[in-house]
Every structure is written in structure tokens, then in C-alpha cells.
Amino acid sequence: MARKKIALIGAGMIGGTLAHLAAKKEMGDIVLFDIAEGIPQGKALDLAQCGPIEGFDAQIKGTNDYADIAGADVIIVTAGVPRKPGMSRDDLLGINLSVMKAVGEGIKNHAPDAFVICITNPLDAMVWALREFSGLPHNKVVGMAGVLDSARFATFLAWEFGVSVKDVNAFVLGGHGDTMVPVLEYSTISGIPVTDLVKMGKSSTERLNEIVARTRSGGGEIVALLKTGSAYYAPATSAIAMAEAYLGDQKRILPCAVYVDGQYGLDGLYVGVPVVIGAGGAEEVVEIALDAEAKANFQVSVDAVKELLVACRAIDGSL
Ligand code: TXD
């Protein structure tokens, strides 16, 4: 059987890390695309030279030509610019929207059968725009945020309870940003809801609220420390888990930004909800019951995403 092909659009911090992980796991041959000349080629060469040491068989090609992504099975998109001092949120939205247009057209023309995972911020709006520009079926275009946000939540819970991260199953819903909704009721340690552990005196509601707040600002905490960029190891690992679920038809239930048409009473937008990822892409949205507080928080998050879509439409009339 021929090797799978993984195309990475954007060869920055996350793109490079994705290439390394995908090669190490021998997920397939890798194409690293960027508009910056030399960067994808240089990173590809550097990464290829890890092969003899790490013992992986994967071709890694750096390119500035969309033709090289032809036939890709999975495409992970990190292309874009970060927010710089003096740049408004709308300025950033405008720039990354035009990046999504170029990327969407590249995918449409060269790899329309791929499963596409978008990582570029503002995530829920960019994945929606990328789907619109690419014209791919909604089930083949998803956004990565919930896996990362849930991993951050799980990390903090494992620290709080002094248990292995392997036993923590934490759950975050909603858009990627300050309004995301970490759901305590569905967060468990070896199947025990963390709310029950509080009743057992293992932690307190105040501590859990602090953990929820820290999860919500988890990205910002890392940006403040790094100063020159945002997180990349865990974002890359998260997207790789989603790609593996698709390639291996694993039917994993992962929180991803997916297109909702009716589920959760929503229509026509992308937002973070649990979804089955398998060979069919985003196969089925799982509708969990939410209590009144989680429902209200989820609505705030959905409204924030909707506002971004209005802004996108105002910037690009074709949307
Ligand atoms: O949970 C999440 N979704 C996220 C999102 C978690 C962390 C970071 N998140 C976002 O991912 C972040 O806000 C950025 O929008 C993306 C990528 O982050 P990364 O740290 O990898 O950014 P870099 O290092 O700036 O890389 C971006 C690359 C860079 O090499 C540019 O030259 C390239 O994108 N770029 C393009 N490539 C292709 N095509 C176009 N048009 C283009 N424009 C810029």
C-alpha cells in the first residue's frame, strides 16, 4: 500500500513541529508548504536528517508550490500571521481571512479529497472561512482547539488531584478563546466526576473554578511567557491526534470545531463540540445534555463566534 500523504500549510512553529511528529510516527510522506521562500525547504531538509537517527521512513519535502500538495490525504493548516502590537482584532481577521482564501483555493485546486484540519486563529471563524473558500464537504473540514483546551484542562486537573494525566478525561466545549466552556460535570478521573471528588474533600469548588479560569486563559499564559510567539508543542500534538483518528478510522470522540446544522439548536457555523472522527471525517456530532450554567456559557461562546462571522462577511463580500 502506498504511503499516506500529509500536507502542512504553514511551516512556522506549529507546522515544523507537526512535520517532526508526523515523520516520527511514520504517518506518511510529508509536504511542508509556506509562502516564505526557503523556510519550508530548510525545515524539510533539517527534519529529513533526523530520519537516520530516529529511524523513520518518510519523505519530507519543503515547497512554495501548491501543486506539491496534490493527492494529500490529510492537510493541516497553520498559515497566517500572529497579532502584532498596534494591530486590531479586525486587522488580524482581515489578514488571516485573505490567507484562508489563498489556502482554500490551493486545496480546492490540488487536494479536494483531503481531510482538512485548521489551526489558524481566530479558529472558529477561520475554519468556517476555509471551508467556504475550499468548497469541500463540511464533514471533511474541522478545526483544532478543543483537543488542546481539554488537554490543558486535564493537565491542571491531574496536578490538582495528584494523579496520572492518563486517568484524566477533561472536557471543553464552545469556541476557542476566552469564552470556551470547560465542563466540570463531564470531566472525570478514572470515571469519577471531578465534582464527586470535591464532595469527597479531594479539592474545592474554588480551586476548580481557578482551574477553569486558567484553562480559559491557557494560551495567553504561554504567550506571556514566550513573548515572541504562542504555544506550538501541544497544539501540534492535538492536531496529530485528530489526523490519526481520521487515517486509522478510530471513531474517537474528540472535541473539535465542526459545522453544526441543527445540533445543539445551532445552524450554519463552526463551534467546538464533541464529534466522532473516523474515515468519514467528522462523522457525527455528539449532543450531550448541558446544565443551565453550561448552556448559558456555551451560548456566550456561540454568540462570540457569530460576531466574528459577521465581521468576516463585512470584510469579504464573497462569503
Ligand atoms: O488551538 C489553536 N487553534 C491554536 C491556534 C493554538 C496555538 C496557536 N494557534 C494559531 O496557529 C496561531 O494563532 C496562528 O494563527 C497559527 C500558527 O501558529 P504558529 O506558531 O505556527 O505561527 P507561525 O510560526 O507564525 O507560522 C505561521 C506560518 C509562517 O511560516 C508564515 O510564513 C506562514 O504561516 N504563512 C503562510 N503560509 C502559506 N500561505 C500563506 N498565505 C501564508 N501566510 C503566512
Q: What is the ipTM of this complex?
A: 0.99
For residues 151 and 143, the answer to whether their CB atoms sit within 8 Å is: no
Residues taking part in catalysis: 176
Q: Output the CA 209–ligand 1 centroid distance in Å.
A: 31
Tell me the per-residue pLDDT of 179-209, one tens digit each, with 9 for 90 and over.
899 999 899 999 999 999 999 999 999 999 9
Q: Prior bond to 122 cis, omega within 30?
A: yes
Q: What pLDDT sits at residue 229?
A: 87
Q: How far apart are CA 244 and CA 233, in angstroms?
A: 17
Task: Check pocket membership of 32 for ligand 1, CB cut-off 6 A.
Answer: no
Q: What pLDDT sits at residue 152?
A: 97
Tell me the per-residue pLDDT of 11-30, one tens digit each, with 9 for 90 and over.
999 999 999 999 999 999 99
Residue type, 247: L
For residues 193 and 185, the answer to whether their CB atoms sit within 8 Å is: yes
Q: What pLDDT sits at residue 316?
A: 94
Task: Check pocket membership of 19 for ligand 1, CB cut-off 6 A.
Answer: no
Tell me the per-residue pLDDT of 234-274, one tens digit each, with 9 for 90 and over.
999 999 999 999 999 999 999 999 999 999 999 999 999 99
Nearest to 181 by CA among 279, 70, 272, 54: 272
Q: Output the CA 68–ligand 1 centroid distance in Å.
A: 19
For residues 39 and 64, the answer to whether their CB atoms sit within 8 Å is: no
Q: Output the CA 5–ligand 1 centroid distance in Å.
A: 21
Please write down the HEC assignment for all residues of 204-271. CHHHHHHHHHHHHCHHHHHHHHHCCCCCCHHHHHHHHHHHHHHHCCCCEEEEEEEEEECHHHCEEEEE
Instruction: Kindly tell me the sign of the dihedral angle through the C-alpha atoms of 103, 3, 115, 49.
Output: negative
Task: Check pocket membership of 6 for ligand 1, CB cut-off 6 A.
Answer: no
Task: Check pocket membership of 40 for ligand 1, CB cut-off 6 A.
Answer: no
Task: Check pocket membership of 43 for ligand 1, CB cut-off 6 A.
Answer: no
Low-confidence ranges of the chain (pLDDT < 50): none
- Closest residue to atom 6 of ligand 1, CA basis: 235
Residue ranges with strand state E in the chain = 5-9, 29-33, 60-63, 74-77, 115-118, 141-143, 168-169, 172-173, 181-182, 188-189, 192-193, 252-261, 267-278, 281-285
Q: What pLDDT sits at residue 9?
A: 98
Q: What pLDDT sits at residue 64?
A: 98
Q: What pLDDT sits at residue 269?
A: 97
